[in-house]
Structure formats: C-alpha cells, structure tokens
Amino acid sequence: MNTTTNAATDPEVASLNKELERLDSPGRIALLAERFGGGVIATTSFGLQAAVMLKLLKDNAPEIPIVFIDTGYLFAETYRYAALLEEHLGFEAVVYQPAITAARREAIWGRPWEEGAEGMEQYARVHKIEPMNRALQELGADAWISGLRRIQSSTRSGRAIAEKQSKTLKLYPIIDWDDEQVDRYIREHALPRHPLAAAGYVTMGDWHSTKPGVRSAKESTRFNGEKYECGLHLDSGQQDFQI
C-alpha cells in the first residue's frame, strides 16, 4: 500500500522543509524549479483559487509543466475559466483525461458517485488517480507542486510544505496562506475569478459532487459532506500512486 510519509520521519524531506519555511511562496517555487529541474510538474484544477498558483508559477518558474486532470465531469464554467486563465497568463496546460469517457462510463457502469463511499473511491481511481499516475510517468516527474492550503480542510491542516507520497515528493508553496491572502493576491494582480464564486460556491470540483455553501462549513459542500478530498490528496494508506 502506498503512503504519505510524515515529513518529520524522512531526513531529506525534513531538511527541505526547513529550507522552504524560511522562504516566501515565490522563493519556494524558484528554489524547487532550480532544485528539481525537469523532474518537477505542477497541477491545477482551475478551481476558485487556482489563479494564485498559476500566476506564481508563471512569474517564478514558467518552465514547469502545468498538468490539468480533466475528469470529464467539471462544471461548464470551469472549462471556460480554464481557457480564460490560459489566455490571461499566457500558458497552455497539459491535459490528462481518464482512459474511459464520461458517456461510456455511465452507459456501461452507471454513476459510481451515487453508490456510497466505495463508489466514490472507485470513481476517484478511474477519473483522477489513474490520469495523474500517467502524467507523472509520461512527464518523468518525481516532484509535484500543488496549491493545497492548510485552511482548506481538516485533512490538510497538519501538512508540511513538502511530503512524500509513495515515491513522489509533493510540494505545497502556498500551504500557509489564509483566505484573506488569497483574495488580496487576486485583487492586487487583477486576476480573473472563477464565475461560480459569485454563485455561492466556496469549493470547486465535479458538478455531481460540489454544491454552494459558506466558507465556515466548506467541507460539507463536497461529496454530500461525507468527505472533502477528491482522491489525489488523501492521507496515509489511501492513495494508489505508482511512482
């Protein structure tokens, strides 16, 4: 079973965390780009705060490939927002999709997200984890930058800037940002906002498992309140990442 390694138990990860903790987010991204070179990728969901990480990456490490996992079930507004941000920031995401289309999945196997926890886990493996595995392998990456933040959920509150997930080093340059910092950065840099932010959405994912809500209870807005994580950023023992 693949696991996420506690940063305190891995000397190399612990040392990297000490370096990263002394830097601001632009400095962290610049260091990671220099340290890992062609072996690092970043991911984006084109969610509500995605513009922040994308702007930081564009300004501080434009050579890092940005991967977009397209589940086939994102809101129409998310697809349009992705195109808007790509044009605004001047980049093109590398898109990875499941091996099976959404239409074929439903025609043959139905809607697994309506079948409880087991169905949701199976959905995550097919539509998120497998494409992410493929991205890591095909792009030759053993380091992965993500825009996770501690304040987003209870499952993220104790995470370090760097951690190991199986053989992949995961890196969170804005892990310590709060919502006010995010909002201020978006305003100061005049970044486009996701159109569903104005419709009351405080988190963003697939249309079938995300609903509007309030920031103080954002975990209840995903997967009928049964869980928050989509499958890519679960705790120890719950991932299927291969490298």
SS3 category, 171: strand
The tens digit of pLDDT for each residue in 132-183 reads 999 999 999 999 999 999 988 777 778 999 999 888 999 999 999 999 999 9
pTM of the model: 0.84
**Left (φ > 0), alpha (ψ -120 to 50) or beta: where does 49 sit?**
alpha
**Assigned domain for 239 exists:** no
What SS3 string covers 91-106?
CCCEEECCCCCHHHHH
- Enzyme catalytic residues: 230
CATH of the domain at 23: 3.40.50.620
Ranges 12-21, 106-115, 223-232: which has the least confidence: 223-232
Per the structure, the complete domain to which residue 21 belongs is given by 4-225
**Assigned domain for 90 exists:** yes
**Assigned domain for 237 exists:** no
Residue 1 banded pLDDT, cuts 50, 70, 90: very low
**Assigned domain for 215 exists:** yes
Indicate the burial class of 237 (C-beta count within 10 angstroms; 0-12, 13-18, 19 or more). exposed
**Assigned domain for 232 exists:** no
Closest CA to 152 of 233, 54, 44: 233
**Assigned domain for 234 exists:** no
**Assigned domain for 149 exists:** yes
Query: What is the number of structural domains in the chain?
Result: 1
Bridge pairing between strands 94-96 and 162-165: unpaired
Bridge pairing between strands 168-171 and 162-165: antiparallel
Residue 190 CA neighbour count, 13 Å, CB half: 1
CB neighbours (10 Å) of residue 206?
20
**Assigned domain for 178 exists:** yes
